[in-house]
Every structure is written in C-alpha cells, then in structure tokens.
Amino acid sequence: MGGSPTIVMTPTLRNMAMAMGRSVLPAEVCGLVAGPRLPQWDQEAPIVVSGIVRVRNAARSPTRFALDGKGMMNAEARIVDGGDEVIGVMHSHPVSAAVPSATDLADALVYDPDAVWLQLIVSLQGFAPNLRAWRFPPSPPVSGADPTELAIDLIDGDLRSP
Ligand SMILES: [Zn+2]
C-alpha cells in the first residue's frame, strides 16, 4: 500500500478557506485548489497547496456544490497565470463534518473520473470548524472504495518558492 502524501499549506490559507465558507452561508462554497504540481499519488513527496480560488456554486445549495463552468475557466486561468496548476477542488460543509458525502463521491466521478485531484473539505459545523484533505477513489475498477484522508501540515512561509 505505501503511505499517502502529506498536504502542506500555510495557516493563513487554511483560515482563508474557512472565511470563504462562512461568506456564502447557508450555501456550500466551492473553488479550485492551486499548487506547483499535480498530486503524484504514488509518491510520498508532500503536496503543496499554494492557493484556493473561489468559483461560484451553481447549485447554490447547503448540501451540494456544482462548479460554475465559466467561473471555473476564469479560476483556472488565474491559477495558471500565477505559475501554478489546478491540483484539486475545495468545498464546504455548512452543517456537517469535513468528510466526503455520497453526493461528493458521485459528483467527483463526473468532473474528475480518474481521481487525479486533491479534495479539500471545510466544515463550518458547530464550534470546531476545520479543514480536511482527501483523495477520492478512482472510478472502476476500484469504485466503492473509501476515500483516503491525508494529513495536513500547516507551515508558515512562501510555499511557492522552495
Ligand atoms: Zn461535500
């Protein structure tokens, strides 16, 4: 099996993701995650998250999200202009834990069928808002597998210039 890569991001970015989530309550927020390179799931090198760009939630729902098509293109252009790549998707759970829902797993099969993206989920539930990182199982032949949680290391500094 081998280990799973660790996610590295600044506490500032983590807090920003929470603020994004709070700003659109009671709906879920969603956005694209930026990093210097796509996750390489078979390697244990850390996956750096350098930014999160909000995209309009076309579903405008408290229980699901749909990345707006045009917004997604704009966000991707911004990320690439900044010298990074789109490495994942972030969304929030206004009133539940930062754990993938059945809807999340089903939707991801549509927008990321090969499960190459990192999935960040912000929970705004109760008194303990938090952010957790996941890798979703790829579509067949291993559909039905559980998502894998990845540890997040919060590190201060400019993560774009190692
Ligand atoms: Zn969700």
Distance between CA atoms of residues 159 and 109, nearest Å: 30
Q: Which domains does the chain have, with CATH numbers?
A: 7-154 (3.40.140.10)
Say what the pLDDT of residue 72 is.
96
Evaluate if residue 2 carries a pLDDT over 80: no
Q: Across the chain, what does the average pLDDT equal?
A: 91
Say what the pLDDT of residue 160 is.
61
CA 13 – ligand 1 centroid, Å = 19
Q: Write the single-letter amino acid at 30.
A: C
pLDDT, greater one: 110 or 119: 119
pLDDT, greater one: 41 or 118: 118
CA 149 – ligand 1 centroid, Å = 14
CA 63 – ligand 1 centroid, Å = 7
> Could you give phi then psi for residue 35, rounded to 5 degrees?
-160, 170
CA 99 – ligand 1 centroid, Å = 7
pTM for the whole structure: 0.93
Q: What is the average pLDDT across 98-108?
A: 93
pLDDT band at residue 14, thresholds of 50, 70 and 90? very high
pLDDT band at residue 109, thresholds of 50, 70 and 90? confident
Q: What is the average pLDDT across 139-149?
A: 76
With the CA atoms of 70, 131, 123 and 126 taken in that order, what torsion angle do they form, in degrees rounded to the nearest 10? -150
Q: Write the single-letter amino acid at 137.
A: P
CA 120 – ligand 1 centroid, Å = 9
Q: Write the single-letter amino acid at 80.
A: V
